[in-house]
Amino acid sequence: MSSRVTSQIRSTSATCSGCGGESFSVVATGRDYIYHGTEDTFRYVRCGSCGHFYLNPRPDISQLSLMYPANYGTFSNRFQGRANILGRIKTIVNRKRLKGVVARLPLRGRVLDVGCGNGELLIALRQARPDLELFGLDWHFPAETRSALETQGITMIEAPLEAAELPVQPFDLIIMLQLIEHLWEPEESLRRLVRGLAKDGRILIETPNTDGWDRRLFADGAWGGYYFPRHLNLYNFERLAELLRRVGLAVESQRNLPAPLIWVYSLQGVVQASFGWKSFLTTLFGVKNLPLVAAFALLDSAAIAMGFMTSNQQTISKKA
């Protein structure tokens, strides 16, 4: 955890990425409760025309290094499978969620993981399907990550998705785990990815769900799904499906997923808003508290079984 606050993040006003509308109502306000990279207060708004949730004002794309510091989770060993049990659990869960769609990939199929972070998922895919051609895209690859992926024969594309040059040969599967919410231009970015899909290729997206039952419990802005200031756009089932249809994708399935980390981040936000980020409670309600994470995973699993919406969703769509 950072011990000091960095400079102010340069932000600009935003319009709705769903419909271009300019009218909105404020949904929540909050700070960077996780990395404390700035003292700025941010606000989430809801479009008055289409209901889309987005950060407004939002950081300029030039502020990436302030939004994602060196100790950011997927750049560091915070969730790395070889470093701790939480990372191993995370990798196992992700592999299980992807098992069905990966099983349908052709021999020597091509897979792109957008926002691949430390590459743990790609390395797990390499072990499960050695025949696959694997690519990872992220705006920054630390030296340790670069070395690990090169060793596994995984091709890296180092650039923000909005500016990345994708290979000419199409992909059979594009994975976006907790990524679309970080994009400045989600629709244009998806259009670029669709152009890079093979015929009958699929895109698998996991992202927070604004219809999650727990969001209402943290209405003052502490809900972990806001993840100030890194989450720029948020969706529910309907708004995400509409976006995918607009870019030429047919939705095959949508389902709720447990969201234990969002619960943990929500509690951290509540604690820090009340007692400050140096409170011992911040550590107590941290992601390394495995019993707490497990308890929230079970709670959300029970909620899903009873028909409730959770704060995490998965959508699989196919090139139309």
Residue 287, C-beta contacts closer than 8 angstroms, at least 6 positions apart: 73, 78, 86, 261, 264, 293
- pLDDT category of residue 10 using cuts at 50, 70 and 90: very high
Q: Tell me: pLDDT of 21 over 80.
A: yes
Q: Where are the alpha helices (DSSP H) in the chain?
A: 64-67, 85-103, 120-128, 143-151, 186-195, 237-246, 260-275, 280-284, 290-305
Nearest Cα residue to 69 out of 40, 31, 37: 37
Mean pLDDT over each residue of the chain, to the nearest integer: 90
C-alpha distances in Å from residue 126, one per residue of 114, 210, 231: 16, 33, 29
For residues 102 and 319, is the Cβ–Cβ distance under 8 A?
no
Nearest Cα residue to 54 out of 292, 317, 223, 235: 235
Confidence at residue 197, expressed as pLDDT on a 0 to 100 scale:
97
Rounded Cα distance between 224 and 281, Å, is 16
Rounded Cα distance between 17 and 262, Å, is 24
Count CB-CB contacts under 10 A for residue 208: 26
Residues in the chain: 320
Confidence at residue 79, expressed as pLDDT on a 0 to 100 scale:
46
pLDDT, mean of residues 17-34: 94
Taking only the tens place, the pLDDT of each residue in 255-296 is 999 999 999 999 999 988 887 767 777 778 888 888 999 999
Taking only the tens place, the pLDDT of each residue in 158-213 is 999 988 999 999 999 999 999 999 999 999 999 999 999 999 999 999 999 999 99
Q: Tell me: pLDDT of 236 over 90.
A: yes
Rounded Cα distance between 42 and 39, Å, is 10
For residues 248 and 207, is the Cβ–Cβ distance under 8 A?
no
Please tell me the number of Cα atoms within 13 Å of 35 on its side-chain side: 20
313: phi then psi, degrees, rounded to nearest 5: -140, 155
For residues 101 and 202, is the Cβ–Cβ distance under 8 A?
yes
Rounded Cα distance between 29 and 41, Å, is 7
Rounded Cα distance between 14 and 211, Å, is 23
What is the reported pTM? Answer: 0.91
67: phi then psi, degrees, rounded to nearest 5: -70, -35
